[in-house]
Structure 1
Amino acid sequence: MHIARERRKRPQCRLFALFRPPRRIFEPSTVKNVPNLAKATARPSSAPSESPRLDEAERHEQKRLEALRRYDILDTPPEESFDRLTRLAAAHFDAPIALVTLVADERQWFKSCIGFDRRETNREVSFCHHALQSNGPLVVEDATEEVRFMDNPLVTGPTHIRFYAGAPLRTPDGYALGTLCVMDTQPRAFSDEDMTHLRDFAAAAMDALEQRRRAEAHRQAEQAQRASERKLRRIVENAQDVIYRIDAEGRWGFLSPSWKELTGYRPEESLGERFIEVLHPEDQSEALFDFEGRAEGPDRLLSREDRFVTKTGDVRWVRVRGRLITEEHGEVEGVIGTISDITDSRRMEAEREARQRAEELLEAKTSLLNNMSHELRTPLASILGFSEVLAAEGDEQQQEFAEIIGQNGKRLQRTLESVLHLAQIESNDETDLTLEPTDVADAVRTVAATYRPPAEDQDLSFEVRTPPEDEETRALLDREALEHLLDDLLSNAVKFTKEGGVTVSVDTGTSAVRLRVEDTGVGMSASFQSGTLFEEFTQESTGLDREYEGTGLGLAIARRLVEQMDGTIDVESSPGEGTTFTVRFPRLAPADTMDASPEAAPPRAKE
């Protein structure tokens, strides 16, 4: 410090300043920035040779500014690490002004300043602008004697700058961002030792900038990592599939929250447990063998379907996917992957396969029955035909035999026709149904006339109740199917009634035509009504206890016919008290009688 003070007291010689070596007066690299001096010292040259130099200088300046932006330092608050350096520099050089400057595109900004009341100046009046273009520190011992600075507002104005010494803040890749500089309002000398110290101060300032940049980059990296971790945590916490990790011993090391939804166990309940313990016992050995085999083989991908046993004992199908993770030396550390609940998809697949199988069986049954139709009907027709001939031309005993043959043949024929009719309905073949306005009351009277004689032969009353002929009882039906339905219901009513009688009636509601067949026969139990009543080949009495003949197909066919014609069928019955079947069809309004068609079918029947 005392050396610097002595220098300040030493008188300054203008002649000495003017004839000082060029490094002290100005840097040759900056002559072009001073028009008059540039003209005096420039060598003759052609215009084409100057243009590439200017372009190179512009490119260099752009790269320098990009380097400055990478440090993200401009217009930041004061920082002690830089203020400490300027305080030390001011004290060391006994200078009233010490700055850490950064030169931007159009301005010079001070990261730290001692003894200067501004935070920035225009780049055009900046001493540091010239320092950036030198290979080393720039020293101006008396600005009033320096052509570049004698007219500078910082020199001629109230700031009264006379002395300047600045060393560039140079990045590791060679770009000068600014300077660490000291200034004085009095001219002064600057030794080589002072120059070395100034370089050290500038290097320390650059180190502070580098440290700040690395710290900021580290902070941003940590911030990005935390954001990435938060995003990953949200993904894991909200993932529908379970994300898992298994260690080399086959124990759960990580389980995402969806584990509880899948198994009923909280993740912390399962951590540390062996993964095979949650597997179905039948799947454990195969899964363990697969895991161990992949750990020893080249295939690092795992994909299999297993059954998990939940906390409540339920079994759920899962798809386990994963990848084996290895250490640096190739040893397996464990598995990471996902577990998907596929219980519903497995169930749907099983249902789909069952439907497909049922359709295949139905198709096979239909094919078989069609073949039966051809193979049985022809010989059966011959049997019935010859039985009629024998009954007409044979003797008394032969006629008796022929009658038995005919009765059983006709019974077999009815059975065959019922089976074929049911097969046709089950195959969804509705092409034979012709829906058209049909008078339900008229159909009832027609079919009922057929069953009155056998009912009276059994001493049963047989009553038919229909509305007056002027009351509309039409519905959009297939007449033949309706009569078949009536045949099934009335034949059962007569067959299962020993005492009392049978009543068939038709009435109309607001939107439906109602057909009802009542009998006082044996009735049915509630369990049979709610169970297999409308299923194929079923009767309440079976085996050796079976009292009534029949195939058990009539009601199955009846229900399917009703449904195909958009109707409903219900039953009420009690053992020993009789049975009532009620069928409802959508009533056809009078205005719809002329234009009714299957495409314009009314809604399903309601009361």
Structure 2
Amino acid sequence: MKSSSINYLSEVILNSIEGNVYILDKEFRFVYFNETYIKNYVFSFNERPQINEISKVITSQKQFFIALAQSYQNAFEGRELSIELEEIRHKFTPINDENGEVSMILVQFDLSADANKFITENSLYSESQYHEVINLISDIIFKTNQNWQWTFLNNSWTKILGYSNEESLGKPFYEFMHPEDAAQKEQLFDALIREKKPTSKHLARFITKTGEIKWIKASVTFITDPTGYVIGATGTLRDITRQKENAHIYELLSNNVKDLICIHDLEGTLLYISPSIKQIAGYEPQDLLGKKLSDYYHPDDLKLVDKEQLPFAGTTSSYISYRFRNAYNEYIWLETNSKVFFDDYDITHRIITSSREINERKRAEEILMTSLQKEKELNDLKSLFVNVASHEFRTPLSTIRSSTEIIQLIDKEQHPHITKHVNIIGSQIDRITSLMNEILIVGKIESNNLSCNKKRVNVIELVKTSFEGQNALQKDGRTIDFIISGHPIIAEIDPLHLNLILDNLLSNAFKYSRLRPNPILRLSFYQDYFEITVQDFGIGIPTEVNNKIFNSFYRASNVGRIEGTGLGLVIAKNLVKLNGGKLHFESKENEGSTFILHFSYL
């Protein structure tokens, strides 16, 4: 595997890496490769690779090798990249020549965390090609003499710990370690040498130039002379500080977060499950690894799960609630929030889920739903009673009215006392009939059975009909002052509803302003809507009851003996809403009230 482009030291480095490593030139010819790669190449192409031979990857028509060849092209364009092909992670690194142009690419796959025998006693690290290759590796590559003094460090030493070679070479490695680890590691090396152990793998803390602590994973190979005497060491140092920090954070989260945190593949298989599963469902985490949460769903909840994927495998966060079988073969309610994310380490999409037990909430919901169902049944019963009672009252009321009419016919001389009582009876019949009609309307509103039949109407004529009817009922001779502004426009509204709304508001305006100035009715047309305002100068509404006047049967304390049912405003507000409008009011006690209706034309 000799090459004019790659020296002996580079071959030793490549062959010491457990993964597959090879280098190609711009014509896709092998510059060199390690022993591990030879085995895989023979497996793929049934022959050994040869230096200066074009890789058969380039000519293969298999989809896997076509994708691999495309990655070669991308790397020769100067892009360092990592991809996953058929679950094999590849890393492609461009190598520049002395002119700064990409002349070769370094390809690595299945690279293990450790690499042995990176440097031999016959290192030629002064050669430019060696430096090019050695500095591509992100781990620290080192060599020491028999006194454990650094004799070689690649560029990663400076990048990770901040010391330059001038500050480091010639000094023993333990001077850069945490004091608690330094003495321990020196004793460890002495013991390994006595036991003639060829390699050592361990963790240690190193101190950076700025005083920070870095956790380093060391893989050390001892260099011996022909007699077996140790004359130094070589190997790699890998910075795992981030992993240690992440592991610490993970431990804190796992042991303190009560929610169940899981990571799944896109088929729903559990790859990780937090220790809180023990508290929530009685399982140990290892009991569920490799399985799916849906395997433990209640049969009635399986509709939430697609046969191929999790129900929540979307790109945005989503929630589902379901019953989960615990370790005691009982079902508990869980609510799961999930989201898809991209795992940079495994170079694939994963699903992360957060679940919490919601048994108490579900029990409360069941109680609430039961209460709502009972309330609905009571409302339905009330509506039925009101409808039946109202209809049943109509027959005797009609009989009573007919009787009063007969009395009037018999009383040809119209005796004053008879006429008085007949009129009282007629008035009370009208009052009861009005009350029953209002109760029937409120019943329909509460049961959502009131329909709205909008028609194109002349609003001015409709409003006139309403207030003229009210004018005729006033015994004190007062009338509505009617004011129109704006350009009249035909509107779509239920004419029966508008008439009923105005009857209630105008009736109240007269009723609660006796011996006061005439009520004012304003009809204003605007570009997109029209407004009806009913203003009176009567007793007004106390401020403290403003939020109650739209409640059924509610009447303010200042109405005294003025007749009323407490349903008129309830009906008006709901009919306005049914027609897509708005109703609000302004009032001041003893000065009067103003009710404003707002409707769009369509």
Q: TM-score, normalised by structure 1?
A: 0.41
Whose helix fraction is larger, Structure 1's or Structure 2's?
1
Structure number with higher strand proportion: 2
TM-score (norm 2): 0.42
